[in-house]
Amino acid sequence: MQPDLKEFVNWPSDVIAKCVRESDLRVCVFAVNGTRRWFRLEHPDTPDSISSYLEAMVDVHIRLCRLLFEHGLDTLVIPVFGSELLGRSGYQEIAVKGLFRLATDPLIREFYSSDDIRVRYYGNYHDSFQESPWCDLLAPFDDLIERTAQHKKHRLFLGACAEDATDAIARLSIDFYKNHGVVPTREKLVELYYGEYVDPANIFIGFDSFCVFDMPLLDVGATGLYFTVCPSPYLSSTQLREIIYDHIYVRHAVPTGNFSSLGYPALENMKSFYEANMGKTQGIGFLKDSVWYPTGQVTVPPEMHR
């Protein structure tokens, strides 16, 4: 029996985790974003230095990962660093030092160990860093992958320079064909690219303007997209549970397309909703102080609340 949302959000985490593991919800892409503005808002009296920011982000990284893992989302894909940051002087040093911290910080490494998390990096980071001032990052990445290789409970894939995998996938395909004489399947390409097989992404949780990115080969047209209004570090347990509930019990509750079987009341509800929202578009926003904010676009007719 489908639980009520108000009931569901108050369940113990282990009960929700059981529901998640029994559903088709296997892979979550969490595009953590808005961390700099979160830091400025939550630590206004802390010097706005790179070291202070990264210190705070250690706690954020552990808290967010643990929150999702505790709710049964055992495979997380987190884009961390895009190649475009290499050309942004204000963010380049922060992003690179953040990547280094994720691989070397003692608290984070202890978290990976205590929570039995297998960590892998994906993306074009080898080519991007090899001939750059950041080539020293590659050894810590490889060391962390090796150190956590035997962990089995959770998986964490960290994306670095993964915005365009076209060249990498082409090379992997050519090499595989040369070695095996057959064209690789999608499953084999996923395994080669990520280091092990990853199911298609079930949900993508983003922030800011609606944009999906850095999950090559995992988007097969069935990913549920969710965008928080506030920066990612503000994600709460209740908010995550609402996302999980929507994915399991709302979006996939009834097969779509059989509109011919809808009765008069259902058609009237549909008509009322569309008439109340004619001309509105989700994803539209406005700029204030050079920051993009979403505008509320949906009106639910009073009769649909009854």
Report, as an integer, the average pLDDT of 8-24: 95
Residue 202 near residue 219 (C-beta atoms within 8 A): no
* 89 pLDDT higher than 80: no
Question: How far are the Cα atoms of 152, 201, 202 from residue 100, in angstroms, in the given order?
Answer: 23, 26, 29
pTM for this prediction = 0.92
| Confidence band of 255 (pLDDT split at 50, 70, 90) | low
Domain ranges within the chain, ordered by starting residue:
7-250, 263-305
Residue 135 is predicted with a pLDDT of: 81
* 257 pLDDT higher than 80: no
Q: What is the 3-state secondary structure (H, E, C) of 164-219?
A: CCHHHHHHHHHHHHHHHCCCCCHHHHHHHHHCCCCCCCCEEEEECCCCCCCCCCCC
Token reading at 134:
């950041």
CATH number of 7-250: 3.40.1180.10
Residue 18 near residue 72 (C-beta atoms within 8 A): yes
Q: What is the 3-state secondary structure (H, E, C) of 130-153?
A: HCCCCHHHHHHHHHHHHHCCCCCC
Residue 237 CA, chain-centre distance (Å), reads 16
**Helix extents (H) in the chain:** 5-8, 13-22, 35-42, 50-70, 89-104, 106-114, 125-130, 138-147, 166-180, 186-194, 237-245, 264-276
Looking only at the bridges linking them, the beta strands covering 285-288 and 291-294 are: antiparallel
- In DSSP terms, 119 is beta-bridged to 156
* 10 pLDDT higher than 90: yes
Structure-derived torsion over alpha carbons of residues 128, 129, 132, 135, reported in degrees to the nearest 10: -170
CA distance 15 to 17: 5
Higher-confidence residue: 80 or 95? 80
* 306 pLDDT higher than 60: no
% of the chain residues with pLDDT over 90: 62
Residue 305 is predicted with a pLDDT of: 66
